[in-house]
Amino acid sequence: MVINKKLLTLSNISVLYVEDDLDTREELQAILQKYVATLYVAKNGREGLSLYREHLPNIVVTDIQMPEVNGLSMAADIKAINPEQPIVILSAYNDVEYLFRALELEIQHYITKPISVERLVNKLADITNQLNLALELERNRKLLEQYKFLVDEKALVAKIDLNGEISYVNKQFCELLGYTEDELLGKHYLFSFEIEDQGLILDDLKRTLVQTKKWQGILKKRSKTGVIYVVDVTVVGIVNTDNELEEFVALMVDMTEVHERFERLSLNLKQDLNQQSHYLHEYQRALEIGTSLCVIDMDGVIVSANQNFSATLDYQQNELIGQSIGHLVQDYTNFKERVLKKVRQQGYSSRIIKVNDKNGNQHTLSTIIVGIHNEKGDIHSLMSLSQDISESIKLNDEIIETQKELIYVLGEVVENRSRETGMHIKRVALISELLARKYGLSDEYSAMIKVASPLHDIGKVGIPDQILHKQGKLTDAEFQIMKKHADMGFQMLNKLDKPLIKMAATIAHQHHEQYNGQGYPTGLAGKHIAIEARIVSLVDVFDALSSRRIYKEPWSDDAVIEYLNVNKAIQFDPDLVDLFIENIDEILEIRNQLRDD
């Protein structure tokens, strides 16, 4: 087996391996010791739990069925100690009842037997990468907490809801105003402004916040005792993941002493422009230090980029100046059109963008782009403030991949028990995805159907073997029992609140419904049957008729197509049948590439 860079991460982790079979245990122990830093080995769940409590390994790998204490009982005790503990279950095809118990324990990693060593070590490497990523995210979270603490300690902070009422204040804000927190919460943010000589500024503040969700300026405010003080204020609109405005945050710096000195200096020096330029430079310096910033002109050329932005993309600052932002941003033409439209409409654009760094690596940035206007009011350039969220996106994608892997493992279990080949579920999955795309469903929805379809017969795990494996025709009583697998599959899957599992539950429940309403279990008809169930039903019948089974020989392609035409608008959606036949060449190509051995 070729050792890739991903597997090198295993050299820093500890693993607990629990297996009752001596030959399997010794063989896998010898292999795992070559990769991991520390390996603890136990022959049953009792020993495994004792070793876990003593050493707290990074990853647990365990068989299910073992003497004394089985793998799931041990896993339950481990989860009670550490709910986030990664556990890999080694399962045989007949372990399906235990797999559902594993789901209840929120175990996400499974390897089917016989064990592929390459698959196992790659699984351990993937988990290690997830652990490292989670550790890095925790470090970032703590860092952000420290940043927040620093801001709370050194600045005046207030949160304002959409009605203009204060929903949060920090200690420094309360001390400056002379009010308690309870006295401030619920008050309108403008209540303490010194309005007499700031009417124009306040009008600009309210108008700008409505238009651009951002305002910055110097304001005078009055404390509880009537003392006037001056603050440098930045008010920013905070949006949720749907880009909907939720609240405003005001960050203020007490400039009273500086302002008084400045006013005295202005009187003495008649508003010395050099002094004003100094303060402007100080503000710019603070902005450079605290944000990841890039400015581009209206032709898309980078005018300036601070150190934070340059470091994110592995560039030196001087390497970015003069370069077209189009070399960094993916699909730049579409990006530029949409951003400019938003900036002209509301003064800013909040977007998630994908950029390439100097080495060609992709980064995902959460970005606010603000229009910079000249003295005539025209947009002169665009300023972006960004945060790299690549690692968060990667973690979310890995969680989705875990759901897909779980569905495929369960699908293999079902097909093994039903004595059908794994190629059957692969063919049904790929042909269902093709038909969904041809029907006009989105790429994302079509891909979900492909992933969810392997569980369409999951309910058959509850059907007795003498009925499931009967070679002859089922009696009426046996058929009534067989029909229950649709309800059983739905009940098994519908308990899990995950999008892919929910779709799999729908397919399992409805894939025996018929277009004319004569199917089971609920007698749904026509478009009341979910489109994913209508697609999988048609593809499943096609593949079953085309394949050899213990009770029949495969039908010819012409016979299968004739059957589909005869049952159009009776058993199957007529539009799907027509679409299926129109694309029969592509469908047969998929089937022929994945024939049973």
Task: Based on the fold, state whether residues 567 and 491 are members of the same structural domain.
Answer: yes
Instruction: Select from 464, 490, 491 the least CA-distant residue to 478.
Output: 464
DSSP state letters, 390-454:
HHHHHHHHHHHHHHHHHHHHHHHHHHHHTT--HHHHHHHHHHHHHHHHHHT--HHHHHHHHHHGG
β-pair partners for 568 = 572
Task: Based on the fold, state whether residues 544 and 462 are members of the same structural domain.
Answer: yes
Residue at token pair 């308990």: 495
Task: Based on the fold, state whether residues 306 and 338 are members of the same structural domain.
Answer: yes
Q: Could you tell me the two tokens for 247?
A: 């609240």
Instruction: Select from 509, 571, 517, 570 the least CA-distant residue to 539.
Output: 571
Triad 223, 224, 226: Cα angle to 5°? 65
Q: Could you tell me the two tokens for 15?
A: 């693993």
Length of the chain in terms of residues written: 597
Provide the pLDDT for residue 57: 94
For 497-527, write each residue's pLDDT tens digit: 778 888 999 999 999 999 999 999 999 999 9
Q: Does residue 508 lie within any of the structural domains?
A: yes
Provide the pLDDT for residue 459: 85
Task: Based on the fold, state whether residues 489 and 584 are members of the same structural domain.
Answer: yes
Strand-strand pairing, 59-63 and 87-91: parallel
Q: Does residue 267 lie within any of the structural domains?
A: no
Q: Could you tell me the two tokens for 288?
A: 């450079």
186 dihedral zone (left: phi>0; alpha: psi -120 to 50; beta): left
Task: Based on the fold, state whether residues 140 and 167 are members of the same structural domain.
Answer: no
Domain containing residue 160: CATH number: 3.30.450.20
Contacts of 382 (CB under 8 A, 6+ apart): 295, 296, 298, 339, 343, 369, 370, 371, 372
Q: What is the DSSP letter of 321?
A: T
Using the CB atoms, write b or e for 553-574: b if 16+ within 10 Å.
eebeeeebbebbeebbeebbbe
Task: Based on the fold, state whether residues 379 and 474 are members of the same structural domain.
Answer: no
Q: Does residue 268 lie within any of the structural domains?
A: no
Task: Based on the fold, state whether residues 160 and 136 are members of the same structural domain.
Answer: no
Task: Based on the fold, state whether residues 481 and 351 are members of the same structural domain.
Answer: no
Task: Based on the fold, state whether residues 379 and 425 are members of the same structural domain.
Answer: no
Q: How many CA atoms lie within 13 A of 45 on its CB side?
A: 17
- The segments of the chain whose pLDDT lies below 50 read 1-3, 195, 269-273, 275, 279-280, 283, 286, 419
Domain containing residue 125: CATH number: 3.40.50.2300
Triad 537, 442, 429: Cα angle to 5°? 35
Q: How far is CA 32 from the centre of its chain?
A: 31
Q: How far is CA 145 from the centre of its chain?
A: 23
Q: Could you tell me the two tokens for 122?
A: 């790659």
465 burial via Cβ count (<10 Å: 0-12, 13-18, 19+): exposed
Query: Considering Cα of 316, then 317, then 320, then 322, what sign does the dihedral take?
Result: negative
Contact (CB, 8 A) for 64 and 72: yes
Q: Could you tell me the two tokens for 231?
A: 């603050």
Neighbours of 344 (CB within 10 A): 11
Task: Based on the fold, state whether residues 141 and 165 are members of the same structural domain.
Answer: no
Distance, CA of 574 to CA of 146 (rounded, Å): 62
Provide the pLDDT for residue 516: 95
Strand-strand pairing, 228-239 and 245-254: antiparallel
Task: Based on the fold, state whether residues 133 and 52 are members of the same structural domain.
Answer: yes
Looking at 254, 274, 305, which one is the last position of a domain?
Answer: 254
586 dihedral zone (left: phi>0; alpha: psi -120 to 50; beta): alpha
Provide the pLDDT for residue 411: 62
Q: How many CA atoms lie within 13 A of 114 on its CB side?
A: 3
Amino acid at residue number 256: T
Q: Could you tell me the two tokens for 311?
A: 């470091």
304 burial via Cβ count (<10 Å: 0-12, 13-18, 19+): middle
Contact (CB, 8 A) for 305 and 294: yes
Q: How many domains does the chain have?
A: 4
Looking at 145, 179, 194, which one is the last position of a domain?
Answer: 145
Q: Does residue 130 lie within any of the structural domains?
A: yes
Using the CB atoms, write b or e for 204-234: b if 16+ within 10 Å.
ebeebbeebbbbeeebbbbeeeeeebbbbbb
In order of 69, 82, 119, the CA distances from 103 in angstroms are 19, 16, 21
- Give the residue numbers spanning the domain of 189: 155-254
Task: Based on the fold, state whether residues 116 and 165 are members of the same structural domain.
Answer: no
Distance, CA of 437 to CA of 448 (rounded, Å): 11
Whether the bond between 521 and the residue before it is cis, its omega within 30 degrees of 0, is yes
Element (H, E) at 123: helix 117-154
Q: Does residue 262 lie within any of the structural domains?
A: no
Q: Does residue 349 lie within any of the structural domains?
A: yes
For 140-178, write each residue's pLDDT tens digit: 777 766 655 655 565 788 888 877 788 888 888 888 888
Q: Does residue 405 lie within any of the structural domains?
A: no
Looking at 232, 254, 276, which one is the last position of a domain?
Answer: 254
Instruction: Select from 583, 579, 531, 591 the least CA-distant residue to 555.
Output: 591
Domain containing residue 465: CATH number: 1.10.3210.10
Q: Does residue 301 lie within any of the structural domains?
A: yes
Strand-strand pairing, 14-18 and 38-42: parallel
In order of 13, 55, 518, the CA distances from 58 in angstroms are 6, 9, 54
Give pTM, 2 decimals: 0.45
